Amino acid sequence: MSRDLNMKVNVLPVYTYNFLKVNDSTIDAEDINIDSLVGPEVKELPDGVSLRSGISFDEAGEIFRANKEKILFTTGVPGDPNGDTSFRDEEQAVRTGMGIDVDKLFIEAGAKADIYTVDEGKKVEKPVILRFDMENGKGMLASQVIHARKDSEVTVIMDYSSQDKEAAGFLGVSTRILAEEGARVNLVKTQLLGNQYIHFDDIGGACFENGAIRLITLELGALKAWNGCYINLVGKQSDFTSDTGYYCAGEDNLDINFVADHRGKKTNALMQFKGVLMGNAQKTLRFTIDFKNGSSGSVGDEQEDTLLLSEDVVNRTMPIILCQEEDVDGRHGATIGQLGEDVLFYMQTRGIDEEEAKRIMIKARLDSVARLIPDEELKQRVQYFIQNIA
Amino acid sequence: MSDNKQVVADIDRSLYDFKDVETEAEFYRMEEGLTEETVLKVSEEKNDPEWMRDFRLKCLKLYEEIKMPNWGPSIEGLDMDRISSYVRHKSDMKGKWEDVPEDIKNTFEKLGIPQAERESLAGVGAQYDSELVYHNVKDEVAAQGVIYTDLESALHGEYADMIKEHFMKLVPPTDHKFAALHGAVWSGGSFVYVPKGVKVDIPLQSYFRLNAAGAGQFEHTLIIVDEGADLHFIEGCSAPKYNVANLHAGCVELFVGKGARLRYSTIENWSKNMYNLNTKRAVVEEGGIMEWVSGSFGSHTSYLYPMTILKGNNSKMEFTGITFAGKGQNLDTGAKVVHIGEGTSSSISTKSISKDGGIGTYRSSVTIQKTAKKAKASVSCDSLMLDSISRADTIPAMDIRTNDADVGHEAKIGRISDDAIFYLMSRGISEEDARAMIVSGFANPVSKELPLEYAVEMNNLIKLEMSGH
């Protein structure tokens, strides 16, 4: 099934200079090929987690709509102030990083969602594991809602991989998360798809008081990948922490849009990105800390460390901080460049040549995220994958 | 507290806000709105050469075609049908202050320009509404071969070809809507040429005053600093406050030659009904240095991002800026840099303060092209929020197309620390004074880059804004 629709995704929360071509990204209709409208079945459902499968995408958003007054927030009218784009996605049940065009794709295609609900007060020990074994030439849309009731905790692992390293195909995933009061959702996404795959991964979440979302993402395969994440920190002392590692080589193109929307008091967000660009790879990273009025006592930090290993790479970074609150602490830091001469020199004094030094540094960057994976088997598989690409 | 009152009393807001009535007998004012007829009238007034008249008409067409920006602060309050593009006093430009019409001379006397010229400047240009009313350069500087004149004279004199070669080549009218508008109705501004190897020890200054209500000022500044030469150019601007919108869409084009150095300092204090949509750009040849020092205090709405193109190998750029957005202001400022040459380096350091509902946005772009091997770029932007009804946004961008570059970026946003205020208050300083002291300290990296008298003016402006007057 093919769709005749280009999607505008990863729209910046505020527009900037058009010549930079970073205000948004486009997924061409020809990149979207869908064979399956449901995601893989979970092999083992841990105690304390219930599952409702085959729910329409729209209906699956009901839990967010029921809390619309808490979750949805539009900061302005079109174009004011400062090119605010928040009005664009207000029809979404919960804002996501990639935006409303992803919702439209799922709804119009008739894709089904799985709703995982975690019992109140239940700390689920075993992770929910979803394995996406993507065959060559296949296309899939998959959607999940993770609803952690009060004071519960759950870890969900999504493992996207292809047996064939050269595999082509399409995988679009939408994950929407609600962490109620005192609840914690740990979400791990590892992408080891074939190097001709087209992939997008869209996340939207909301945290109520003392709620937390912990995200670990590794984007290591695929030819073109889009990643979006928008977390609404609506409750007091809610928390969002994310670690992303990526590797782009050859003609790879990776496009990211992360937003931490601070609305509750004393909310906390930390977004860290570590990655490597090689060959003719292109990467665009947009990440925003948005301190809304009322988010006093909040802290936001966004950090990027990018290693550039070819003279033909293109690296675009948009580290945005929006602030309407006096009592906040927001910061951003970026280090972008090749391997430092001092590091190389040190390595050489230890008998390590330049190529080997590069391999070590690639591995070190990606391993620092991979070792956060809570599932031992997956961690080893990811580390093996890293070993091979490095 | 009493000390604070004393300090505030020392700074007279009327220094900038006084206004002179412009009578029909003394002033020529073009009708509001922008049409081919008004553009041709401006051209006729300026006695343009044919190429310039044609250029203006081409720009008008572009202005009509180019869309308003879809980013940045709203400019809906700006209605070009209510803006007069050209207002001038009926007397000609003078080379002596004594000859300048009394009312205009008084304005510049109050602003301290003639005194500054006597004491610390190598030359002065003073523009009142759409035309320069005074231009002079010290004999010893002129003897070095430095040309400092109004652009219209240069367009008809021995530098006519040089103007034609450079005019709106760095900022083409296709760049954005207000660059096209500027090309259509530009008037006034200065032309500076510093010959090879000449170092001008003391600064040149242009001062722009927009006195007329509901008018636009569209001056064009063109500076060419030839190989190995050195210049510091200071730009000042102010206007009295009216209830109708005024527009400033000036254009600054700077050409920095091989091994040359240009420092361009601006203290902008337009009135708070001004839409300041200004475009500044520099191109730097091999080993050249471009330094920007920029203070933005006035205007209702600003779009201001001086851009530097580091074309030559080992060329350098430094940008130091401060923006203070107070009540009713939406100031969108920052810098842009494009690295093309090998070994180029840029450093952008900005401070932004938001208070009383003001919106301050830092917006920038750092582009490192594939050719810019061993380029270095560092960006540091700090924002200070003084209350929770204001807004401070940081919107930087980096586009890096070579691995052989070293790019660092840091941004911080926050408020005045309670501990610092407590410490100062424990030393007997009032809370208000403590806050003002901390803000002045925050602005210090910018003020120390300015000549003393301008640093004093800037600190006074900060005190004035802090006191809420």
B363, B385, B410 member nearest A326 (Cβ)? B385
Q: Which of residues 58-117 of A touch B (CB under 8 A)?
A: 79-83
**Distances in whole angstroms, Cα of residue B319 to Cα of each of A120, B48, B305:** 55, 35, 10
**Chain B nearest CA to A362, separation (Å):** 14
CA-to-CA distance for B60 and A122, rounded, in angstroms? Answer: 68
Segment A116-143 shows an average pLDDT of 97
Give how far Cα B347 sits from Cα of A141, B14, B49, B292, Å. 46, 36, 40, 10
Distance, CA of A365 to CA of A380 (rounded, Å) = 16
- Nearest CA distance, B367 vs chain A (angstrom): 9
Nearest to B393 among A14, A308, A315 (CB): A14
3-state DSSP assignment of residue A206: strand
How does strand B230-238 pair with strand B204-209?
Answer: parallel
Could you tell me the CA-to-CA distances from A109 to A140, A225, B20 in Å, in that order?
11, 20, 68
Helix, strand, coil fractions of chain A, as percent rounded to 5: 20, 45, 35
What letter would DSSP give residue B212? Answer: S
Rounded mean pLDDT, B316-339: 96
List phi, psi (to 5°) of A38: -130, 150
* Residue B164 token pair: 């034609």
Q: A105 is in which domain, residue-wise?
A: 2-389
Residues of chain A with Cβ-Cβ distance to B71 below 8 Å are 14-18, 23, 82-83
Name which of A321, A264, A265 is nearest A288 in CA terms. A321
Distances (CA, A) of A110 to A140, A141, A147: 12, 10, 22
**Sequence-separated (6 or more) residues with CB below 8 Å from residue B104:** B20, B89, B128, B133
User: Looking at residue B21, what is its pLDDT?
Assistant: 65
Kindly report the nearest CA distance between residue B413 and chain A, in angstroms: 5
DSSP annotation of B404 reads S
Cβ atoms B176, B69 nearer than 8 A: yes
Helix (H) or strand (E) holding B461: helix B452-466
Q: Is B185 exposed, middle or buried (0-12, 13-18, 19+ CB in 10 A)?
A: buried
Task: Provide the pLDDT for residue B7.
Answer: 32
Give the closest of A18, A322, A336 to B398, CB-based: A336
- Per mean pLDDT, which of A65-74, A83-92, A175-184 is the most reliable? A175-184
- Main-chain dihedrals φ then ψ at residue A176, nearest 5 degrees: -115, 135
Highest mean pLDDT among A232-246, B106-120, B240-254: A232-246
Question: According to the model, what pLDDT value does residue A75 have?
Answer: 61
Mean pLDDT of B127-140: 81
Number of domains in chain A: 1
A114-A119-A125-A131 Cα dihedral, nearest 10 degrees: 0
Distance in Å, alpha carbon of A205 to nearest chain B alpha carbon:
23
- Token pair 């889009």 in the structure block, residue: A226
Pairwise CB contact (< 8 Å): A293 & B385? no
Mean pLDDT calculated for residue range B233-259: 88
Terminal Cα distance for chain B, rounded: 15
pLDDT of residue B2: 35
In sequence order, what are the beta bridge partners of B283? B255, B309
The Cα A307–Cα A274 span in angstroms is: 8
Nearest to B330 among A81, A329, A336 (CB): A81
Residue B425: pLDDT over 80: yes
Q: Do A336 and B403 touch (CB under 8 A)?
A: no
- What are the beta bridge partners of residue A130? A158
Inspect the interface and report whether the beta carbons of A323 and B73 lie closer than 8 Å. no
Give the DSSP letter of residue A14: B
- Contact between A12 and A24 under an 8 Å Cβ cutoff? The reply is yes
Nearest CA in chain A to B355: A326
Single-letter code of the amino acid located at A327: D
User: pLDDT, tens digit, for every residue of B430-448?
Assistant: 888 888 888 888 888 888 8
Q: Which of B346, B88, B397 is nearest to B218 (CA)?
A: B88
Cα A148 from Cα A177, distance rounded (Å): 8
Would you state the pLDDT for residue B11?
37
A320 and B394 in contact by Cβ < 8 A?
yes
- The region of weakest confidence among A305-319, A350-364, B118-132, B364-378 is B118-132
Query: How much is the pLDDT for B5?
Result: 33
With 50 as the cut, is the pLDDT of residue A202 above it?
A: yes
Question: What 3-state DSSP class applies to A345?
Answer: helix
Judged by average pLDDT, the poorest of A214-218, A221-225, A311-315, B241-245 is: B241-245
Rounded mean pLDDT of chain A? 93
* B80 has a pLDDT exceeding 50: yes
Q: Write down the pLDDT at residue B378.
A: 95
Longest dimension (CA), chain A: 62
Contact between A139 and A169 under an 8 Å Cβ cutoff? The reply is yes
φ/ψ of A61, rounded to 5, equals -85, 5
Contact B401 A315 (CB under 8 A): yes
Average pLDDT over residues A125-151: 97
Per the CB < 8 A criterion, the answer to whether B407 and B400 are in contact is yes
pLDDT > 50? residue B225: yes
DSSP for A260-315, please give it: EEE-STT-EEEEEEEEEE-TT-EEEEEEEEEE-TT-TTEEEEEEEEEEE-STT-EE
A73 pLDDT band (50/70/90 cuts)?
A: confident
pLDDT at B152 over 80: yes
pLDDT of residue A3: 45
Q: Which pLDDT value is given to residue B461?
A: 79
Nearest CA in chain A to B395: A320
Scan for tokens 């096209």, then name that residue. B180
Q: How far apart are the first and last CA of chain A?
A: 36
Query: What are the phi and psi torsion angles at B452 (to 5°)?
Result: -50, -50
How would you classify the pairing of strands B131-137 and B230-238? Answer: unpaired
ipTM of this model?
0.93
Q: Report yes or no: B242 and B271 within 8 Å, Cβ to Cβ.
A: yes
Shortest Cα–Cα distance, B385 to chain A (Å): 5
Could you give the CA distance from residue A279 to residue A223 in angstroms, rounded to a whole number? 12
Q: What is the DSSP string of A29-50?
A: GGG-B-SBSS-PPPS---TTEE
Rounded distance between C-alpha atoms, residue A79 and residue A74, angstroms: 12
What mean pLDDT do residues B397-420 have?
91
pLDDT of residue B330: 95
Which residues, 6+ apart, have CB-to-CB distance to B185 below 8 Å?
Answer: B34, B38, B39, B42, B56, B85, B86, B216, B218
Residue B3: pLDDT over 60: no
What is the arithmetic mean of pLDDT over A20-31? 95
**pLDDT > 50? residue A22:** yes
Backbone angles phi, psi at B127, to 5 degrees: -110, 135
* Cα(B225)–Cα(B231) distance, integer angstroms: 7
**CB contact set of A286 (below 8 Å; sequence gap of 6+):** A10, A12, A22, A256, A257, A258, A318, A320
Q: Say what the alpha-carbon torsion angle B2, B4, B9, B12 is, to the nearest 10 degrees.
A: -170
Rounded distance between C-alpha atoms, residue B24 and residue A196, angstroms: 73
Pairing of strands B147-150, B190-194: antiparallel
Residue among A20, A277, A309 minimizing CB distance to B399: A20
Q: Which residues contact B409 (CB under 8 A, 6 or more apart)?
A: A317, A319, A332, A333, A334, A336, B366, B378, B379, B380, B396, B398
Which residue did the predictor score with more confidence, B338 or B246? B338
What tens digit of pLDDT does each residue of B17-49 get? 666 666 666 777 887 888 999 999 999 988 999
Residues 189-218 of A with CB under 8 A from B: none
In whole angstroms, how large is the CA radius of gyration of chain A?
Answer: 20
For helices B102-110 and B113-120, the axis angle rounded to 10 degrees is 60
- Residue B469, number of CB atoms within 10 A of its CB: 12
Residues in chain A with CB shorter than 8 Å from the CB of B417 are none
Interface probe, candidates B413, B415, B419, B421, chain A, greatest A C-beta count within 10 A: B413
Task: Tell me how far apart the alpha carbons of residues A323 and A293 are, in angstroms, rounded to a whole number.
Answer: 8
A364 touches chain B (CB under 8 A): no
What's the helix, strand, coil split of chain B in %, to 5? Answer: 30, 35, 35
